[in-house]
Each structure stands twice: as C-alpha cells, then as structure tokens.
Amino acid sequence: MRPRVSSSLLLLLSVQSCCCWAMMGPAPSALRQQQFGVVKLAVIAPADPRHEQSLPRLLPAVLMAVRAVSSPKGPLPGWTIEVEHRDSQCSSTYGPLAAFDFYINRTADAFLGPVCEYVLAPVARYAGAWDIPVLTAGGQADAFRHKDEHYPTLTRMMGSHRLVGEALQHILQGFGWKVAALLFHNHAMASSRGNSKCHFTLGAVYTALNQTSMYKSFNQEDSTANDYRNLLTFVSKSARIVVMCANATTIREILLAAEELGMVDSGEYVFFSIELTSSDNSTKEPWRVVGDTPERNEKARKAYQALLTVTTRTPDNVEYLNFSREVKSLAQSRYNFTFGNSSVSTFVTAFYDAVLLYALALKESLPDKPGEVNLDGGNLTRRMWGRSFKGITGYVHIDENGDRIADYSLLDMNPETSKFEIVANYYGANKTLEYIPGKRIHWSGDRLEPPPDTPTCGYDGSLCPDNSLPGYAILSIVLSSIVVFLVVGSVFIYRHFKLEAEIASMTWKVHWEDVIVMPSEKFKAGSLYSLAPNKQRGSQLSIYSEDNMSLPGGMDRRSFVPTGIYKTSKIAIRPIPRNKVEISRPLLLELKRMKDLQHDHLVRFYGACVDPPHCCLLTEYCPRGSLQDILENEQMKLDKVFRGSLIHDIVRGMGYLHASDIRSHGNLKSTNCLVDSRFVLKIADFGLHELRKPHPLDPDEDRNSYAYWRKQLWTAPELLRMGRRPAEGTQKGDVYSFAIIVHEIEMRQGPFYLGNASNLSPREIIEGVRRGGGSPLRPFLDETSVDEEVASLMDRCWAEDPAGRPDFAGLKEIVRKINKDSRINNLLDNLLSRMEHYADNLENLVAERTADYLEEKRKCEELLYQLLPKSVASQLILGRSVIAETYDQVTIYFSDIVGFTSLSAESTPLQVVDLLNDLYTCFDSIIENFDVYKVETIGDAYMVVSGLPVRNGMNHAREIARMSLALRDTVMTFSIRHRPNEQLKLRIGMHSGPCVAGVVGLKMPRYCLFGDTVNTASRMESNGEALKIHVSPKTKEILDTFGTFDLLCRGEVTLKGKGKMTTYWLIGEKPLPQLENNNVQQVRTTVMSNNQIPAISTPRHSIYGQQQQSAQTQTSLVTGNGAPPALSPSHHRSNNTGSNSTQQQQQVNSESLPNHNVESGANAPLLLPVGSVP
C-alpha cells in the first residue's frame, strides 16, 4: 500500500503546486526564462530492457545528441544541457507521476517521451497545460493527431499509423489487391491493459483500405498452434491476402500453421507482417529459432517464403553504421546493456533527431531576446513544426501538424540466402513506392506473378458456371457406386474375418515344452585352462596338452547360436532381448505374415515362444553358417559359378521379400545371409523389428565401440543421415546393402574394403559415407579381378541418389544376364566336384593344422614355465594334481629399497616404473645363476626361496647367501636412470626353516609359501640396514657348516612377534684353498662332463674390504662345492703368481668333492640352471 499512498501524495502536491502557480500570476510558460546556456531535458520511458523503447536503449542516443548539439559545430555551442530520466514502467499511473515530479522540481524544459500510448496521453495533455514541449517516438495512434484540442505541444518523431496504412495501401494497389484480412494481437479484455499497439496500427490500415477488409484479433499470450490453424481456416473463406501484426514468435507460429494447412505450397496466399520496432531486417533470419528442431526450422524457412515485411526504412550509409556502433558501445559501458548483432532501431534514432530538432528550434528563438533564452513551449513547438532538417537517418520532414513524415521499406526473403532483403521503399513525403533495381519478390508455390486476391471461382464457387450432371445420370452413378461398394465391402469383410480368424488361431505360437534344446557346443573347441572342479584332483587348475587345445584359425568362427528340435526339424533358437513380450494387434499381424512367408531363399520362421523366461524366435537352422563365415574361410574356394549363384540367391530372396507384406529388410548384411547344408543362401533377420530391438531399460550400446560402427558399414547414406532411421529400413537402402555384399563376395576382403593403402576405421568410413558430396566414399574396386558387368552392377546399386538405384525385380534380370554362361541350374554338380577337391586337400590341411597345434602347444608350455616352477608346471601339463607340500628346510630371502617411498614421491610414475623394471631385470639375470626360485615382487619388495620345489639338502642357505652377496654388490654399482648420482640402498634379510608351498587361485594362479619361516624372514629384512645382509641364527648355523662365510654378530634385536633374537651380518665369503694340479684337472674333467659349465673367476663379495682381482685369468677351476668360481669365493687369494702361488695351493681329497648323485642332505650339489654361462 505504500507506493499507492506516495503516488496520491505526489498527485496532491502537484495539484497544489499548479494552484499556487495559478494564484501567483500568469501561466508558467510566460515566465519560464533562464540564464543563457542551460537547458534541462526530461526523459520518460520504461527502464525494463525488454521494451523496444527502454531507457538503456534510448539514453545513449540522447547523450550523443546532447554532445553533438553542444559541440562547437552544433547549433548550441557551449551550452549546458542537463538530462534526467524517470522510469514510466509503461504505466498510466507511474508515467504521469514522473512528469509531475519533473514539473514540480522545475527540471524539465522539454519532455523526451513517454513512448507508451497510455502514458503519453495524460502527460501530453499536462505538458500542453504546462507549456512544455513533448517530443516522442511513440504515440503513433491516430488519436494523437488532434493536436490543437488535446496535445498542443506534442511532436511525433516516428510519424503515425495512418502513414503505415497509406504505405500498405500503395503496395496492395500495385499488385491489384483490394481485399485483405487483418490479423492482430490484442490484450485480453480482462487484463485491464487496454488495446495493444497492433490494434492501433491495423486500425489505421483498416481505415486506409476504405474498410473493405475483414479484421480479427487474438491474444498471442495464450493462443496455441490449433488456434492459429482455426484462425487461418476462418480467414481463408474470405481473403487471400493476410496482413498480420504480432511479435516475431507469433508470426512464426502462424506461418508454420499456414504451411501445415498447405497455404504456402499452393501459392494462392500472401502474408504481410507489420514490424515497426524491428531493426536491421536485411540480415535477420526470423524463421530460425535456436533450440527448435531442424525439421521445424526448415518448415519455418519454407513458410517465410510467403511473407512480405513492412517496416520503417533504415539507412545503410557509413554515418548511420558508425552511429549504431557508438550507441552500442555507450549502452554497454554506461548502462551495461547489450544490443546484440542487430543494428540500432529507428525508434532510438528518433530520439537523437528529437534532441537535434529541439536544439534547432531553440537556436532560432535566440535572436528574439539576446542574452536570455525563451523556453516558451508554444513558441518552440511552432518552430519545430512544418520544417525539414538533416538528422542521423537522413532528411527528416515534420509536417504542419507536428508529425514526422516517415518512410517505409518492403522486405522479401531471398530463398538462396534465406535472409530478408529490401525490395522496395515507400517515401511518405511524395507518397511514392520505388522498387530497387535488380531486386524482385519471390512468390511462394514457384509462382512468377503475384496471386489474385480473390479465387477464380470465388470463395464459394459462385463465380464459375454450373456444369452439374442431370438427375438421371447422377442416379445411375449413385446406384452403380452402391453396387460396387457392396461387392467390394463384402469381399473386404470376408477377408477381414478370415484374417481375424487366422490371427486369433496364433499358428505361430510355440510352447517351450514342445522344443527339445540341443546340448550346448560352446566349449566344443576346447580351452587352454579347465577351471571346472574335479574331486579327483587336488587343485582346481589343470592344463590339458591333449588335442582339445584350441588352435588359431581352427576354431569355429561362427557365433554360438542355441539349437533345438521342433517337430522333427532342427531349428535355431534366437532369444528375444526382454523377459516379457507385450502382444499387440500389429505384432500379431506381423507374426502371422512371418509364419506365412515361405521361399527357397528366405530363412523359414517356425514360430515364437512368448512363455517367460523362455521368450525366443524359432527359425530354420543353417549349419554352414553365414555368408561372411564362408568368405573369411580361406580354404573355401569360390569360383565365378559359385559367386554368381550366391548373388543370384540374394536377389531372388530379396525380390520375394520386397514383394511381400514385409516390404523391406532394413538390416541386410553378409552376416544375415545364411547358407544351409546344400549351399543354398537364405536371407535371415527380417521383420519382427519390435521383438528384435533391445528393451528400452537395457543399457545403450557404446557408441564409441568398434562393433557399433562396423555393423553400419552396410547402411545406405540416406539412412545414416536420419536422426531416427526406421528399423525396417527402405527398399532402396536394401539395394545399397546388396551392393556392399556383392563387393564382399567379389573381393573377399571384408565389408567396405578400401584397398591396402587405406587404414580408415569403421567410424571414419561411416562419417565419409554420411558426408556424401560429389565424389562419395565407396569401396575399392579392382578392375583386374572384378568383371566389368559386376562392377557396373555395384556402381548402380550403391549410387548416392536412391532414385538412381534399380529394384530387385530389375536386378534379377541383370544377374541372369551376367550368369548366362554359368551352370546356375546345375549347381549340385558343381558342388560335388568342389567337395572332391576339398577331400584331396584334406590331408595337407590336417598336417598343417597339426604342426600349428604343436607349435602353439610349445608356446603355451613355455609361457607356463615363466608363471610357475617348472616342476609344478610339468605336473599340471601331465594332468597330475598339485598338492600343497611341506618342506623341512628352506631359506627365504626378502629385500626392499630403503627410502623408496620418498624416492617415489619425488619421481613421476613412469620414472618409478622404469626404475623397478631396470632393477628387477638386473636381479632376474643374476638369480638365474643360483639354485633359487623367485616367488614374487611387490613394489620394491623382492622375495626369493631356495630348497623348493626341488629339495637341495642344506645347500639352500649357501645359495641364498651367495645370491644375496651378488645382488648387494650389483646394487653398489647400479645407476638410477633419472637420478644417476643417487645410491640405491638395498636392505636384505634371510632366514631358514620349514614352510608349506602350493598353487593358490584359479584366475592368475600363484605359487605361494606359508609358514612362520616366511614371517621371520620378512622381520629380518624390515629390521635390517641399508646395503647389509641380515641373517637369522638358524641361517647362520647352516652357513657355519660350510666354513666359507664371514658373519659378524650384530647383537640382540627385538623382532615383532618374536621377541629378542641374536642376529648377524653377512660380510662376505672366504676364498677356498687352491687345489693340487692333478686334483684341479680331475675336478675340471668331472664337472665339465657332468654340467658342461666352464668356470670363471669373480671379485670377492664384500663391502668392508677392497675388491681384488684373481691372480690368473686363464685359471679354469671349479670349486669344491660344485659351483664355478664366478659364483664362489676366490676373493682372498694372493695376488702373487708363479711358484709361490702354486706352493700356497692346498690339496683337497676327492672324497671332499660333492656327490652329484646325492639328492638331499648336507653334501647336496648346487643345481645350476641352463644358460648360467656368461
């Protein structure tokens, strides 16, 4: 309630103020003189930018005009022109209150605005009483032309609607049109908003047309497309020329309704749109709406060809374009308003011209009283009326009544650019309509001349003569028609009831209990792993080496299709991708048609089972697989006769299918062409698209997958371009698919083969086909291997224009001519001869497959030896069970990298991977020289065991110790690739004891160790130090039996879960005494004959003493423990050579040499792996 009270108070103050002025003396206009150089302009307009005449649009032009008139070259140089503005809200209440506010505060020497009719009317009356000039671009209604009586100081800068009516009258008369229908938007009576601008505009047009036309209003705010169709239907009964006034969205909807009613294609109707508020119409595309569907935009573009637009003429000179850019820039920077891509409308420029006109009138009044300014409104208004001046839009003419004589433009849409262009201009000053040279109006319906405003026979046909037949002729025609209708109706009714009976019988329906499902043959070809549990085996993982192992190229390439027996016939069972089938009448009718459809080259449809959960389709079973299977089988030789018979079968089957009620296939491809046992090709997967498509709730197929794009290689380009292509496809699309299949048959390189030089993916191929163009993408044709007639056939069938493709009826004759020299009718003899040829080559084929099988078997075994210990893998290959086994004594090695976490944090993931790969590759190459087995690597942890799966007596501790020394010494010189100056710190722990080992898991099976020994070894590693080897008491006890290892007592160490334990550091290994020459020779001969491993020397494994080289590089000794010197300690030998070194050698009895025949115990030999020789 507060705004209403304030308005009332303001109105009361205004009335009191007027009374005070009246009591003080003469009228305010007679006394309103100001000091030289100050003028106050008051702008009244709505602030909402959605209005075409809002303040953010108008004020930039006003400020630019003020700057221009007060410039040194302007009519008022050096003057101070103050501009204030108020928001009228386009309200008949708040607009006059704003004028009162200006008047009371004496801040208005002239009003610019208001622009809304219901605001302008009271303000213009008050301004006449106040003697203040009013200049506005609004007020075009014809009621404002009565100036002397109601609006003595009002000047209209946009002219009046009467001029619009005169311009439209000249345009209609030029085409010989006298009658038109006027459709305009008007506010609802209940809205209390008065009449709309369109009401006043077309009211003036109605008057200008001498009231010979009909008019009808509508409310665009709540009208629907159906309302517009009804409105146009009503208009079509009395007019062919339709003049409209509404916003752009409504005009578009009306034209779309006209297009749906056929009023555009007929070319009999012409539509006019009055758009006085538009701007830059030559570049607008009002038919295009962002967010609408492409189909509706295209329909709108077609409908707008029947539209002519009448709008205020907009100049196109450089001065106006610069002005438009400056107004946009000022609106953006000062008022945060953006015009967009359109130019500034003439409503905005009218306010610029208004300021200029006021300044010119004011300048003329200056000589009357020098030194003072006479701001008398009546005086200035008389000087503004009846004059012409050059404004921003060109020459501006103000008539004697204070109305601008406006010019208008007629626009037509150019069908080539789909944009509106000016074709004629109406000049109000001389009342002439001038057409632009080189421009013409494009009439709808391909007309070359404008249509008449009245149909030839009139709207009711009364203008045409009556050529009706006599009564007896009409009676005869009626009786004959009734007889024919009864006969046809009877036949139709009989067929209908017969069809209904057949549909109700549901002969296609199959009960699941009537189907005998054949055993699955999915795993007939065998598999590398058999994961099925077997009670007779200790492990669930077994590997077969028999002949059931799969072979590359030997496996069945056909997709697994369940089969069964139904009424003594072998059938293929194709599941329906849904749990429940909704039976509708169209589906019943299609099932009946499929059941009745039988042809030699169509896969027979036995029926459908709709019993949940066994919903499936039952079709004929073709044991030879698909055409693609045959084409990809290199052993299947296809000569010209066989290829011709396959093509002929497709043509015959598709010809019959197109002539049936199914009409088209929609998914024809080589995988849907099946071959039966007699090598007869049959078409499959046609019809019943409602049952074949996935359930709506099923996840959509990945659109980025290879399979998604590959299955579209047979699809015609016009179908690829559709947003929603029909599932049943088109007949011309089937012909295109047939051409791709023929290319597959002739080239045998797969679908859409583009030659060896092309490596396009299926997605890129599909995009190329969809793109089309003058040279569309098509498969490669080798003219040397494809007959000219067949190549010509393919070119015609995959033509870009569907109309240029032949149908299958014509293809049948073409294929018959191509195969005229072939024995198509005696195909059986040809097949028998081919079978004999296959039998001759069968032995060679079996030999080749056997060799391939053995090679693949060898590769699989080698791969398995890399995954599991050789002994374990050998047991699995032989089909033996792998039972977990207990080992009394083994030695387990653990190591990790000190500071690996921080090193990883400071490195990239790729650098960490490279580091671990380099390190473990180095470690793996070293441990091959020892009788050890690497269990696993996890991150920086490395686990090795000795003494299993093959026991080696007590040598396991020695092997792990020597391996640890070798790894430690290697790490000393190891270089990190991305941090070469940083030392890698390896921490090693080892422990001996019992454990259990076995194979764990089915997927990625692992050979794992279990027991407290594993935990203790891990504790030894975690409690060790960098670059040291931490040894448990148990391991130390075993190493002492060899007498060659240097160990240093560390003291008591607290181990988690073990308590305190005295542990040791492994320092290195002592050198063995030199053997006598004869014993050396004997040992060399024995070891070389048994192991075939030459001996080399190596430096001592120790970080506490300097490494020493061997005395003689030519020495070939084998150590007494069974290992070559490269793996045994020769570190502490003296560097002296000659006789001294010979004298220092100690003799070793042959009894002290290891017995290689002993399998276990303290004297078990070291088992060296093959390939340990450097």
The CATH number of residue 802's host domain is: 1.10.510.10
Please report, for the domain that includes residue 1058, its CATH number: 3.30.70.1230
* 632 in the same domain as 605: no
For residues 458 and 464, is the Cβ–Cβ distance under 8 A?
yes
* 645 in the same domain as 686: yes
Q: Which long-range contacts (CB under 8 A, 24 or more apart) does 295-304 make?
A: 296/256, 299/256, 299/259, 300/252, 300/255, 300/256, 300/259, 301/418, 302/259, 302/264, 303/255, 303/256, 303/258, 303/259, 303/264, 304/255, 304/413
* 651 in the same domain as 608: no
Name the domain boundary from 602, 621, 640.
621
Q: Among the listed ranges 544-558, 721-735, 882-896, which one has the minimum average pLDDT value?
A: 544-558
The answer to the question of residue 927 being in a domain is: yes
* 929 in the same domain as 785: no
Per-residue pLDDT at 370: 52
In the predicted model, is pLDDT for residue 203 greater than 70?
A: yes
Most confident option among 178-192, 653-667, 779-793, 995-1009: 653-667
Nearest to 577 by CA among 522, 619, 620, 615: 615
Per-residue pLDDT at 527: 31
The answer to the question of residue 684 being in a domain is: yes
Encode pLDDT of 443-501 as tens digits: 998 888 999 988 888 887 777 776 666 778 888 899 999 999 999 999 989 888 887 88
State both tokens at 924.
């793996």
For residues 1010 and 1035, is the Cβ–Cβ distance under 8 A?
no
Q: Cα–Cα–Cα angle for 230, 236, 241, nearest 5°? A: 120
Nearest to 103 by CA among 131, 77, 137: 131
Per-residue pLDDT at 191: 67
- Helix residue ranges, H only, 604-639: 627-632
Encode pLDDT of 309-327 as tens digits: 999 888 878 888 889 899 9
The answer to the question of residue 951 being in a domain is: yes
Please report, for the domain that includes residue 591, its CATH number: 3.30.200.20
Encode pLDDT of 1079-1119 as tens digits: 433 333 333 333 333 333 333 333 333 333 333 333 333 33
In the predicted model, is pLDDT for residue 1147 greater than 90?
A: no
Per-residue pLDDT at 832: 66
Tell me how far apart the alpha carbons of residues 1126 and 1107 are, in angstroms, rounded to a whole number: 14
Distances (CA, A) of 895 to 920, 946, 1024, 1098: 12, 15, 9, 23
Query: Mean pLDDT throughout 884-892?
Result: 92
pLDDT-derived band at 571 (thresholds 50, 70, 90) equals very high
Tell me how far apart the alpha carbons of residues 935 and 193 are, in angstroms, rounded to a whole number: 90
Query: Mean pLDDT throughout 403-413?
Result: 92
Higher pLDDT among residues 23 and 993, named by residue: 993
In the predicted model, is pLDDT for residue 5 greater than 50?
A: no
* Terminal-to-terminal C-alpha distance of the chain: 104
In the predicted model, is pLDDT for residue 1130 greater than 80?
A: no
Per-residue pLDDT at 424: 94
The answer to the question of residue 1037 being in a domain is: yes
Most confident option among 197-211, 646-660, 1128-1142: 646-660
Report the mean per-residue pLDDT for the chain: 80
In the predicted model, is pLDDT for residue 1031 greater than 80?
A: yes
The answer to the question of residue 429 being in a domain is: no
Encode pLDDT of 247-298 as tens digits: 889 999 999 999 999 999 998 999 999 987 655 544 578 888 888 899 999 9
Per-residue pLDDT at 841: 55
Calculate Rg over the CA atoms of the chain: 51
State both tokens at 244.
């409209």
What count of Cα atoms within 13 Å lies in the side-chain half-sphere of residue 298?
A: 3
Q: Cα–Cα–Cα angle for 86, 391, 329, nearest 5°? A: 55
pLDDT-derived band at 369 (thresholds 50, 70, 90) equals low
Nearest to 1031 by CA among 996, 1068, 979, 990: 990
Query: Looking up tokens 């219901």, which residue turns up?
Result: 118
pLDDT-derived band at 212 (thresholds 50, 70, 90) equals confident
Query: Mean pLDDT throughout 882-898?
Result: 91
Q: What is the DSSP letter of 207?
A: H
* 684 in the same domain as 660: yes
Residue-range definition of the domain harbouring residue 737: 624-693+706-822
For residues 747 and 753, is the Cβ–Cβ distance under 8 A?
yes
Name the domain boundary from 1038, 1069, 1100.
1069
Name the domain boundary from 1069, 1100, 1130.
1069
pLDDT-derived band at 16 (thresholds 50, 70, 90) equals very low
Per-residue pLDDT at 838: 52
For residues 160 and 140, is the Cβ–Cβ distance under 8 A?
yes
- Strand order through the sheet with 80-87: 80-87, 38-45, 110-112, 134-136, 154-156
Per-residue pLDDT at 877: 79
What count of Cα atoms within 13 Å lies in the side-chain half-sphere of residue 168?
A: 37
Encode pLDDT of 523-554 as tens digits: 343 333 332 333 333 333 333 333 333 333 33
Tell me how far apart the alpha carbons of residues 741 and 654 are, in angstroms, rounded to a whole number: 13
* 807 in the same domain as 896: no
Q: Among the listed ranges 278-292, 463-477, 656-670, 751-765, which one has the minimum average pLDDT value?
A: 278-292
State both tokens at 576.
């329906």
pLDDT-derived band at 961 (thresholds 50, 70, 90) equals very high
* 981 in the same domain as 917: yes
pLDDT-derived band at 719 (thresholds 50, 70, 90) equals very high
pLDDT-derived band at 690 (thresholds 50, 70, 90) equals confident
Per-residue pLDDT at 1066: 93
Query: Mean pLDDT throughout 193-212?
Result: 83
* 601 in the same domain as 742: no
Query: Mean pLDDT throughout 811-822?
Result: 84
State both tokens at 239.
């007019």
The answer to the question of residue 1157 being in a domain is: no
The answer to the question of residue 933 being in a domain is: yes
* 1052 in the same domain as 912: yes
pTM: 0.42
The answer to the question of residue 712 being in a domain is: yes
Encode pLDDT of 575-607 as tens digits: 998 888 888 888 999 999 999 999 999 999 999
* 1052 in the same domain as 963: yes
Most confident option among 28-32, 264-268, 740-744, 1000-1004: 740-744
Per-residue pLDDT at 960: 94
For residues 374 and 33, is the Cβ–Cβ distance under 8 A?
yes
pLDDT-derived band at 830 (thresholds 50, 70, 90) equals low
* 940 in the same domain as 1016: yes
State both tokens at 536.
């007779």
pLDDT-derived band at 339 (thresholds 50, 70, 90) equals confident
Higher pLDDT among residues 836 and 1139, named by residue: 836
Tally of domains in the chain: 3
pLDDT-derived band at 1007 (thresholds 50, 70, 90) equals confident
* 913 in the same domain as 1006: yes
In the predicted model, is pLDDT for residue 182 greater than 90?
A: yes
Query: Mean pLDDT throughout 75-85?
Result: 93
Tell me how far apart the alpha carbons of residues 487 and 145 are, in angstroms, rounded to a whole number: 74
**pLDDT-above-90 percentage for the chain:** 48
